[in-house]
């Protein structure tokens, strides 16, 4: 008997930013696969089963979830933010592509979620109001040289850049190097937003000019948004500034 597999994102951390659609899917799920801390946020009932795994075990987790669904279970695979942004939806697709024929017959649903850069951007104002891109700084699954090439290309193309996975214990220098590369083509006054754990009680939010951006201001829970040459800051008395990228260029 075939079960079903729903791949969902919980949003950036604030339960109010989990979509009603994702909430309904969680209520209907039987087995939950995901990184332990994400599963902890779900408040599951005693009849719902947690199958936590480590952050680095995404393909193994994807295969285990597909196996459970093909045995008839109603399975939820859980990511933070959006499940398709540097997360489990792609791992599930990879597992299906290389897995047994039976996995292609499963009913698979991907539910969108609020991805981290949108939560950080909303906190800041409208830094993504103009053309932008997202880059994961993790070189676990791609070579660092490629990341450097992409950073140079998008900065020169004038895109606002959202950096995911900016730093970790195993990758301590990459963000500093990224700032160095960006300073080669962007003004030192370009706003850099560090949004940490946005939407959660341990949120931390700061905006600094690129010339002063320091990798120590980020950790694994931080999404860093680097403006384009057009991105501006509106200072406001007694409040955080508004950071925004005007909708047009040279108009």
- Least distance from C-beta 44 to ligand SAH, angstroms? 20
Nearer to ligand SAH, 8 or 73 (CB): 8
Are 6 and 75 spatial neighbours (Cβ–Cβ below 8 Å)? yes
The reply to whether 125 sits near ligand SAH by the rule CB under 6 A is no
What is the DSSP secondary-structure string of 4-66?
EEEEEE-BSS-GGGS-HHHHHHHHH-SEEEEEHHHHHTT---TTSEEEEE-TT-HHHHHHHHH
User: Which residue's CB comes closest to ligand SAH?
Assistant: 81
Which of residues 64, 116, 147, 159 is near ligand SAH by CB under 6 A?
116
- Least distance from C-beta 134 to ligand SAH, angstroms? 9
Subset of residues 10 to 39 that bind ligand SAH, contact rule: CB under 6 A: 12-13
Nearer to ligand SAH, 170 or 249 (CB): 170
* Burial label, 2 (beta-carbon count in 10 A; 0-12, 13-18, 19+): middle
Helix, strand, coil shares of the chain as percentages rounded to 5?
A: 35, 30, 40
CA pair distance 30, 26, nearest whole angstrom: 8
Which of residues 75, 151, 197, 213 is near ligand SAH by CB under 6 A?
197
# binding residues, ligand SAH (CB under 6 A): 27
142 token code pair: 């791609």
Stretch that binds ligand SAH, among 34-42, 94-102, 195-203, 229-237 (CB under 6 A): 195-203
Nearer to ligand SAH, 12 or 127 (CB): 12
Q: Please give the order of strands across the beta sheet that includes 31-35.
A: 49-53, 31-35, 74-79, 4-9, 107-110
Neighbours of 17 (CB within 10 A): 19
Cβ partners under 8 Å of residue 23, min gap 6: none
Subset of residues 148 to 167 that bind ligand SAH, contact rule: CB under 6 A: 164-166
Q: Is the dihedral of CA 26, 29, 34, 37 positive or negative?
A: positive
- Least distance from C-beta 83 to ligand SAH, angstroms? 6
Which of residues 115, 174, 190, 217 is near ligand SAH by CB under 6 A?
115
Which of residues 76, 199, 215, 228 is near ligand SAH by CB under 6 A?
199
Which residues of the shown chain bind ligand SAH in the complex (CB under 6 A)? 9, 12-13, 79-82, 85-87, 115-116, 119-120, 164-166, 195-200, 220-223
């Amino acid at each position: 008997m075939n079960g079903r597999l729903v791949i969902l994102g919980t949003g950036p951390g604030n339960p109010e930013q989990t979509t009603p659609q994702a909430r309904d899917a969680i209520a209907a799920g039987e087995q939950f696969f995901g990184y332990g801390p994400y599963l902890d946020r779900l408040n599951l009932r005693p009849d719902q089963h947690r199958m936590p795994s480590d952050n680095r075990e995404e393909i193994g987790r994807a295969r285990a979830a597909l196996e459970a669904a093909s045995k008839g279970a109603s399975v939820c695979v859980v990511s933070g933010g959006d499940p398709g942004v540097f997360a489990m939806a792609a791992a599930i697709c990879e597992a299906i592509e290389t897995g047994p024929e039976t996995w292609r017959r499963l009913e698979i649903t991907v539910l969108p979620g609020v991805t981290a850069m949108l939560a950080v951007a909303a906190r800041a104002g409208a830094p993504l109001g103009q053309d932008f891109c997202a880059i994961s700084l993790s070189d676990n699954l791609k070579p660092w040289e490629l990341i450097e090439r992409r950073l140079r290309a998008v900065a020169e193309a004038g895109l606002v850049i959202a950096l995911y996975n900016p730093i970790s214990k195993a990758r301590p220098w990459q963000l500093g190097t990224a700032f160095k590369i960006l300073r080669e083509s962007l003004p030192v006054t370009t706003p850099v937003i560090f949004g940490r754990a946005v939407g959660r009680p341990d949120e931390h939010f700061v905006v600094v000019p690129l010339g002063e951006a320091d990798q120590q201001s980020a950790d694994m829970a931080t999404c860093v948004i680097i403006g384009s040459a057009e991105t501006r800051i509106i200072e406001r008395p007694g409040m955080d500034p508004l950071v925004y990228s005007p909708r047009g260029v040279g108009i």
